[in-house]
Structure 1
Amino acid sequence: MDNPVRARILRGMEMDADILIVGGGLNGPALALAAAQAGLSSLVVDALPVDTRTDPAFDGRSYALALSSVRMMENLGLWGGLAGLAQPMNQIKVADGRVGEAQVFLGLHFDSAEIEDGPMGHMLEDRHLRRALLRAMSDNPLVTHRAEARVVAQSTGPRDASITLADGVVLRGRLLVGADGRQSGTAARAGIRRTGWGYGQTALVCAIRHEKPHHGTAHQLFLPPGPLAILPLKGDRSSIVWSEKDTAAQAINALSDADYMDVLRPRFGDFLGDIALEGARYTYPLNLTLANAFVAERLALVGDAAHGMHPIAGQGLNAGLRDVAALAHVIAHAQRRGEDITSAAVLERYQGWRRFDTAALAAATDLFNRLFSNDNTLLRLGRDIGMRAVQAVPELRRTFIREAAGISGDLPDLMRA
């Protein structure tokens, strides 16, 4: 159905769009673009101003996009403009050690050459992905972006879903989607409770420039206070996600940039030569939080609104994009069959698909963090033996590589080659 015809139908039903999406970060815009491919209109409500979203300055934030997420960007028509800005991750090295050790056992080594699909993923700066999504939304006639708008109330019923903005404007659609983060107001207003716990850890996030090339290799170093991820960016730069106990993290973050780097260097090591801070520094508390339901009447949750987990596997954004791709897949196929895309049966397909996967991923990241964030001698021995065993079995190693690339299991249409 072409856009003018659909617009007339929606006006006749007193609706502003097929899908109302609360949250203008990354998952919300991605869903709007995915829905547009199925001929569905979306209205994205974003609390932040457009100038903030389009700021071209590098602020230190980056994402590890798994191969499945890269495929999704390709299928949405975005990757052509992003590929030259992204750094392929050709290898992942996993190590177990202690702060300041000169030699650390490299327990696992994953190489993209072991699978035929290409790099396991790419590192991409937040500013590039953010701006690409905004440009694509503005160019798509089926997507409306409403910035600097805050939702204060919502309602769902047999005929439609509606949201009320802080300025009193009421917007109506067929389906309401919450893409508004771990403190999701959409989930809370729908009465969806959450299950989870804190880890007593805080992530310190920054980017650094280094003397030696990284050769597209990502490093995951397990230290007793928490994991340290060193992820390659374009050029001689890397993104750092560094977990410490809450009290220590607060003290470290309060330091000057120079003193902060003095704390990081013995953890980082010298394998990339001298390092220097680039961009801003961030912290965020680490916890596990799962929505007890991903759907309700005429409502679905995606991304952190549905689940938040430890960044130990770098799967936060990838899990959110997989939600988006799965919801778009379910809705598009229902639309082709002539089903009501907002029916309980259709939304339950999405929930059934994603709840099990995210619960399994959350359990795995929780277990890995508990297993590796300590200095127990027996646990150290056991996990090092386990890493050696995985390294020694090629088929098992390839299984881990495919999992890291996000190309195992039942893939939504948008994540297929």
Structure 2
Amino acid sequence: MRIDPIRPVSLRGEVDPDKAGLVLQGVRHSYGGEPVVDGVSLTVGPGELLCLLGPSGCGKTTTLRICAGLEAPTEGEVRVAGMLVADRQSFVPPERRNVGFLFQDYALFPHLSVEENVVFGLEGMPRKKKQERAREVLSQVGMADYIQAYPHTLSGGQQQRVGLARALAPEPKLMLLDEPFSGLDRRLRDQVRDETLHVLKASGVATVMVTHDPEEAMFMADAIALMNRGRIVQMGSPVELYCYPKTAFAARFFGEVNEFAARVGAGGQVETPLGPLDGRGLISGAAATVMVRPEALKLAAIEDGASPDVVGRVLASRMLGRTSLVHLQVETPDGAGLHLHARVPGRYLPPPEERLEVSLDRSLAFVYPAGQD
């Protein structure tokens, strides 16, 4: 399979809405009077891949179905490639939206060959042109040698590639992917999503992908829209969402955090067992929740005669492949101690009871009002 370099794309704020692959403006949708999509607005530029990310029931799949034309919004507007396809007065059906779909089951026709599956989605061109286009996109996804094969003879990863080729064959202005890698095992999933990313980028098509996996979203996306309870709670680049989460929900969703209670002191500083942190504008005396990513904790041997500010006692160490996880008990003024996890690159397995110096990367430590979702 040919791998093309990933091209940079414009960020949402720089995209002309009339030229965008997708624009949602104030989109709402309810089931039985219960809102499941609540005021969603976003723009996806040509060549940009945006991930809708969130827990089950957050509204991300319903949002994708509204983009596809499988659901109609109760309020708001949907535009595809500058064309209004849905609002309160009008609705364009899926087959007229120039949208490609790739869902979890790939929906290949078992009685058609690989080539025939791709040709099936092409309309308005001579048979020979259909075959040429089908073979072109099958070559792009690395399936040119399987044009006469039938779906039941293919692996899950090969079926996914055929599904992608069929979706791209009509040259859609927008691609929609719904958990497309969830049925693959871990090793194959990593390979196929890497290949899919390069194919989508080479095509230049605007893409929206639904996933519940933060790591997958960070791997695939130029931009991530994190959803909860039908709303987008934060939208930005993977770096922005991981390193600058605006809410406690966002911080928790993007991986393990060490979480503990604290209180804002004089001058807006929060005193913690790991040292002072900026209270992020909270008033003096306010209760706060502190969240620290495990990789923010730096561990080092204590030199003879040294008295480090923060000391951690090792409870256990576990190698997790590319990283090691160290369980620590950090000393606190009340003597109760604070149980923390430190994630260290490579193999690092200090024995139980060893005392280590602990320092903090404050860029990966966050403070929120106590009780914030």
- Same fold per superposition (TM over 0.5): no
Band the TM-score falls in, shorter-chain normalisation: under 0.3
Q: Which has the higher helix share?
A: 1
**Structure number with higher relative contact order (C-alpha < 8 Å, ≥ 6 residues apart):** 1
- The structure that has the greater radius of gyration is 2
